[in-house]
Amino acid sequence: MFVNQIHLRNYRNFENISLELNKKLNIFIGDNAQGKTNLLESIFVSSIGKSFRFSKDESLIRWGQEESLIKVDYSRNEGPKIIDVLIQRDSKKSIRTNGLTLEKNSDLVGMTNVVVFSPDSLNLVKGSPSERRRYLNVELSQLKPNYKYLLTRYTKILLQRNNLLKKMADKPQNKHLLPVWNEHLVVSGTELIFYRLEYLKKIMFFSEKIHDRITGGTEKLNLQYKSSLGRINDLTKDEIKKAYYEKINKGYEREIIRKSTLYGPHLDDIDILINGMDSKYFSSQGQKRTAALSLILAEIDVIYEEKSEYPVLLLDDVLSELDNKRKNYLIESIDSIQTIITSTDDSDLLDILKNKEKKIFYLKNGEIIRIIE
Distance, CA of 338 to CA of 331 (rounded, Å): 12
Give the Cα-Cα-Cα angle 152, 158, 163 (nearest 5 degrees): 135
Instruction: Please report the pLDDT score of residue 353 as a whole number.
Output: 85
Beta strand extents in the chain (DSSP E only)? 2-11, 14-20, 25-29, 67-76, 79-88, 94-97, 100-101, 114-117, 221-226, 269-274, 277-278, 312-316, 339-343, 358-364, 367-372
- Residue among 129, 128, 126 nearest 292 (CA): 126
> Running DSSP on this structure, what letter comes out for residue 230?
B
User: What does the alpha-carbon distance between residue 286 and residue 83 come to, in Å, rounded to a whole number?
Assistant: 38
Helix, strand, coil percentages (3-state) for the chain, rounded to 5, are: 50, 25, 25
At 373 the pLDDT is: 84
For residue 328, what pLDDT is reported? 85
Q: Which residues contact 254 (CB under 8 A, 6 or more apart)?
A: 262
CB atoms within 10 A of CB 136: 22
**What is the full per-residue pLDDT of the chain (373 aa) written as tens digits?**
999 999 999 999 999 999 999 999 999 999 888 999 999 999 999 999 999 886 788 999 999 999 999 999 999 999 999 999 999 998 889 999 999 999 988 899 999 999 999 988 999 999 999 999 999 999 999 999 899 999 999 999 999 999 999 998 788 778 889 999 999 999 999 999 999 999 999 999 999 999 999 999 999 999 999 999 999 999 999 999 999 999 999 999 999 999 999 999 999 999 999 999 999 999 998 899 999 999 999 999 999 999 999 999 999 988 878 888 888 888 888 888 999 999 987 677 788 888 888 999 999 999 999 888 8
pTM summary value: 0.92
Model pLDDT, residue 55: 73
Q: Would you list the DSSP string of 334-360?
A: TTTS-EEEEES--HHHHHHTTTS-EEE
**370 CB-near residues (< 8 Å, 6+ apart):** 361, 362
Report yes or no: 264 and 189 within 8 Å, Cβ to Cβ: yes
Our separate counts of H helices and E strands in the chain read: 9, 15
Give the pLDDT confidence score for residue 345 in this predicted structure. 76
* CA–CA distance, 33 with 246 (Å, rounded to integer): 52
What is the reported pLDDT for 331? 87
Cα separation, 106 vs 51, in Å, equals 13
Note the pLDDT of residue 352: 82
Nearest to 157 by CA among 278, 315, 266: 266
Between CA 241 and CA 190 the distance in angstroms is 6
Coil, strand, or helix at residue 77? coil
Number of CB atoms found within 10 A of residue 83's CB:
22
- CATH code for 121-307? 1.20.1050.90
Q: Are the beta carbons of 191 and 185 closer than 8 angstroms?
A: no
**Topology of domain 1-113+311-373, CATH:** Rossmann fold (3.40.50)
Q: Where are the domains of the chain?
A: 1-113+311-373, 121-307
The confidence score (pLDDT) of residue 262 equals: 97
β-pairing verdict for 339-343 and 312-316: parallel
Q: Could you give the maximum distance between any two Cα atoms of the chain, in Å?
A: 73
Please give the Cα distance from 338 to 357 (Å, whole number): 11
In tens, the pLDDT along 199-247 reads 999 999 999 999 999 999 999 999 999 999 999 999 999 999 999 999 9
Task: Answer yes or no: are the C-beta atoms of 21 and 5 closer than 8 Å.
Answer: yes
Q: What DSSP string runs through 90-144?
A: TS--EEEETTEEPSSGGGGTTSS-EEEE-GGGGHHHHS-HHHHHHHHHHHHHHH-
Report pLDDT digits (tens) over 268-284. 999 999 999 999 999 99
**Nearest residue to 300 (alpha-carbon basis) of 270, 330, 324:** 330
Amino acid letter, 45: V
